[in-house]
Amino acid sequence: MIDEVQTVKNIASEKDAIGDFRFPERHKFDAGYGLTSKTVDYISDVKDDPDWVRAFRHKALAAFEEMPMPTHWATKDLESIDFDKIRYYLASGEAPKRSWDDVPEDVKRTFERLGIPEQERKFLAGVEAQYDSEAAYSNVKQAVTDQGVIFVNSTEGLKQHEDVFRKWFGKVIPTRDNKFSALNSAVFSGGSFIYVPPGVKVKHPLQAYFRINSENFGQFERTLIIVDEGAEVMYMEGCTAPKFETSTLHSAVVELVAMKDAKIQYVTVQNWSSNVFNLVTKRGVAHENAEIRWIDCNIGSRLTMKYPGVVMKGRKARGEVISIALANTGQHQDTGAKMIHAADETTSNVISKSISIGEGRSTYRGQVHIPKHLKGCKNNTECDALLINSSSRTDTYPAITVRGNDHATQHEASVSQVSQDQIFYMKQRGLSEAEAMSLSVNGFINDLVREFPMEYSVELKRLIDLEMEGSVG
């Protein structure tokens, strides 16, 4: 046992091995290339969808086809996605296993290399490990199940817990929210469904890991988390893909519902390879005195567009986005936050830090909305950018619409550089250029890293070190 753990560690200490490996494909179900209503029917057939889901998918497909690419505000690079060269559903046809021993060898080895079973043993209350379109492994600790917590994949969720599922599904993020939420709604598979009953505080985090193994593929998981009155949960997600020659698409939709006095923390550590288009829609609704925190770290990908949001619907609800984005050469991190105040005395906080290295590009887009009829709302927005060399680019678009004069908002932005003097000083103490850069970057995001659970902050630091090594040496 001990030997096995060590192997995982050793492999993970080399950059290429983190996510850049793959196994041959062996899919029983393959929706083929391109997206038509036949593709949607294929997915619905394979998954044995109830009629309402099939109808939902078709309606979404129509919306996707009709909606334009948002290139009037977003990057033109979106146009390089060729929707005809993507496969929309790839699955083995096997139900997720409850024990790692039952998981097929290649899939098991994949997740072992990524350290998932080890993390599960150490600190998780439950894990769902998705491989291409479907979960290969899914397990929750008995103690958590005994508390009445439901943690399953979206297919099981919509079939076995239709009441709760249907009530909220597509309500936080309507199909037509944006072109990619429509796309996800048409072809979604995998992702988690979580329900936490009133008053239950899940002690350890629940985790999902999204792994892409196949080329020319799109992953479209769908996650819905409902935390009932006074309940609390922390959910963590990680993701990787091998480095393919062609581009890969990842387009998820994540909806959160925090009922009165509930708390949700949603933690993401994303480490996509550099040709993944990562176009994700994430939003939560916070009812009275509830709290939703998005803690987000975006490393890698060719283009990430992600603006986690919180709709503060009940009095005294709180929303928070803490995000770190690292854009290396050839990457564009277009991230931000959406804070919609819809009740009195609601509070939102956005702290975003971006690091641009080489020709990497970072964009911050914020939207804070406080309507006139509300009283006593607060927003704090801070966005800081760190440039590692002069060709890096960073843009900030903070749209703060505050109507009425009974609110307190605060906005700060800064752009800084790692100076040559700093690098020289650190080198004089014996640190290599890459180590010096890593240290400066870690210093820059230090206060945010503390917001991540310990186990993830260690991982995060390691990922950043590797990015710096790759960009300097």
Partner 1 sequence: MEAQTQSQQMKLEIKDLHARIDGQEILKGLSLDIPKGEVHAIMGPNGSGKSTLSKVLAGHDDYEVTGGEVLMDGVNLLEMPADERSRAGLFMAFQYPVEIPGVSNANFIRAALQARLPNGEELDAVDFYKALYAKMDELEIDRKFTARSVNEGYSGGEKKRNEILQMAMLEPFYCVLDETDSGLDIDALKIVAKGVNAMRSPYRGFLVITHYQRLLDYIEPDHVHVMVNGRIVRSGGKGLALELEEKGYDWVRDELAVTA
List residues near partner 1 by CB under 8 A. 416, 419-422, 424-433, 435-436, 439-440, 442-447
- Which residue lies nearer to partner 1 by CB, 72 or 429? 429
Q: Between 405 and 428, whose beta carbon lies closer to partner 1?
A: 428
| Number of Cβ atoms within 10 Å of the Cβ of 394 | 22
Nearest of 193, 194, 257 to residue 229 by alpha carbon = 257
Q: Which is nearer to partner 1, 301 or 356 (CB)?
A: 356
What SS3 class is residue 463? helix
Residue closer to partner 1, measured from CB, 224 or 388: 388
Pick between residue 188 and residue 444 the one whose CB is nearest to partner 1. 444
Task: Judge contact between 365 and 395, C-beta under 8 A.
Answer: no
Question: Which residue spans within 301-438 are E strands per DSSP?
Answer: 303-306, 309-312, 318-327, 332-341, 347-356, 361-370, 378-387, 393-402, 408-417
Beta bridge partners, 328, equal none
Q: How far is the CB of 465 from partner 1 (least distance, A)?
A: 11
Smallest gap from residue 113 Cβ to partner 1 (A): 20
CB of 332 to partner 1, least distance (A): 25
- Contact between 262 and 289 (Cβ < 8 Å): no
The C-alpha atoms of residue 125 and residue 80 are separated, in whole angstroms, by 40
**Given the structure tokens 């939207």, which residue do they identify?**
367
Cβ proximity of 462 and 17 under 8 Å = no
Task: With beta carbons less than 8 A apart as the criterion, state whether 216 and 245 touch.
Answer: no
Closest to partner 1 by CB, 95 vs 439, is 439
Q: Give the shortest CB-89-to-partner 1 separation in angstroms.
A: 44
Which residues are bridge partners to 251 per DSSP? Answer: none
C-alpha torsion 60→278→35→132, nearest 10 = -110
Taking the complex as a whole, the smallest distance from the CB of residue 445 to partner 1 amounts, in Å, to 8
- Provide, rounded to whole angstroms, the least separation between the CB of residue 117 and partner 1: 25
Q: Rounded to the nearest whole angstrom, what is the least distance from the CB of residue 438 to partner 1 in the complex?
A: 9
**Calpha distance 28→34 (Å, rounded):** 18
Instruction: List, in sequence order, every beta strand (DSSP E) within 102-196.
Output: 126-131, 134-140, 150-153, 192-196
Pick the closer one to partner 1 by CB: 214 or 440.
440
Min separation Cβ 150 and partner 1, Å: 41
Categorise residue 213: left if φ over 0, alpha if ψ from -120 to 50, beta otherwise: alpha
Pick the closer one to partner 1 by CB: 41 or 435.
435
DSSP letters spanning 98-128: SSGGGS-HHHHHHHHHTTHHHHHHHH-SEEE
Alpha-carbon distances of 265 from 205, 295, 415, rounded to whole Å: 9, 7, 28
Please say which residue, 397 or 425, places its beta carbon nearer to partner 1: 425
Phi, psi of 133 (to 5 degrees): -85, -20
Rank residues 249 and 386 by Cβ distance to partner 1 and give the closer one: 386
CB of 416 to partner 1, least distance (A): 8
Report, in Å, the least distance between residue 56 CB and partner 1. Answer: 47
